[in-house]
Amino acid sequence: MAPRTCGLCSLAKAILKRPKTGQQICRECFFYVFETEVHNTIIEAGLFKQGDRVAIGASGGKDSTVLAYVMKTLNERYNYGLELFLLSIDEGITGYRDDSLETVKRNQQQYNMPLKILSYDELYGWTMDAIVAKIGKKNNCTFCGVFRRQALDRGAAMLQVDHIVTGHNADDIAETVLMNIMRGDIARLGRCTSICTQGEDTIKRSKPFKYAYEKEIVMYAYFKKLDYFSTECIYSPDAYRGHARTFLKDLEAARPSAVIDIIHSGEAFDVKEEVKATQKSQQICKRCGYMSSNELCKACTLLEGLERGIANAGVTERGMKRLEAEGPPPESLRTIPFFNKPLSQLDGRPALFVEAPS
């Protein structure tokens, strides 16, 4: 049987079948349609404007590496007029993050982008290795997720950028929809499919890969021969997200469109006004100045629990009651540096030296 020709150009030999559409296409057509779909997502959502300074959340993994490559490619091809930076968060996970950051440093040279690395140790005085040694693996992803989100905003403020883009793909978003349904988390369910989020005192954050399948990102990285780190986090096997991921993979095997279908279902959810009225309004953490729905933000609560030997204070109601019963924190308590608004809204000068590619 003769090799099948590409379903798009009808010239070259088809070498892959797109997981997203089932089309059999050649390598060059795959690159073109993948990049064009991401470009269309960016344009339709109006993510950027000329002159924006954009930080790419870079972990060294496949998603962020492909995102950095594609953002650089599209910025040059379509003249977005963006100034691109790499922003990495070092959680302090020996044998995982230290190795992946070496990949990010190589990406810095390959893509000719300035790089900023901000560590948990620098910001919170704790590494994830130390946190896991203290609390075990049961709730470690809660600490990491909360600390990482705030660290990204703080790193972006240091870089003086207008916008953060992350490598969250269609599979990630579909998993989040499923997780929020299973947990009955109405507040997050109402916003988890948004391509772009921004609080009053936080930096705009978006997901250009919202409709890009994880399998296609892997294929793009493979055929482009991109340099990325492929090991999973050593502390994540017991994460709750893993159950949603397994369920989604089973659905996708039976129906490839399930990933996008779940995202569209999430987009169609409409939270009733009376439910919205019961949700807490955003305010400013009195201790660190970051956005919060309580007097203390989640990061400050988690850090205080760690410092005072009540590690589950920000995780369980019982832990919170115990922390409150202990009375006010000592004056010597380690706290997170006060969060200032992004410098691009202030005096226009960067706060820290950012290493540029040599």
The binding site for ATP comprises 57-59, 63, 89, 167, 172
Triad 315, 95, 248: Cα angle to 5°? 55
Query: What are the backbone angles phi and psi of residue 320, rounded to the nearest 5°?
Result: -65, -40
> E-assigned strands of 208-312?
283-284, 291-292
Q: Say how many residues make up the chain.
A: 358
Q: Residue 30 region, left (φ>0) first, then alpha (ψ -120 to 50), else beta?
A: alpha
How far is the C-alpha of 136 from the C-alpha of 68, rounded, in Å? Answer: 34
> E-assigned strands of 150-304?
163-165, 196-197, 204-206, 283-284, 291-292
Amino acid at 127: T
Tokens standing for residue 35: 């990049």
For 121-126, which contacts have Cβ atoms below 8 Å and span 24 or more sequence positions?
A: 121/90, 121/92, 123/147, 123/150, 123/151, 123/154, 123/336, 123/337, 124/299, 124/303, 124/334, 124/336, 125/303, 125/334, 126/92, 126/303, 126/306
Binding site, by residue number, is 57-59, 63, 89, 167, 172
Residue whose pair of structure tokens reads 């659905």 in the numeric block: 251
For residue 358, how many other CB atoms are within 10 A of its CB? Answer: 5
Residues linked to residue 86 through DSSP beta bridges, in sequence order: 56, 115
How far is the C-alpha of 33 from the C-alpha of 140, rounded, in Å? Answer: 39
Amino acid at 274: E
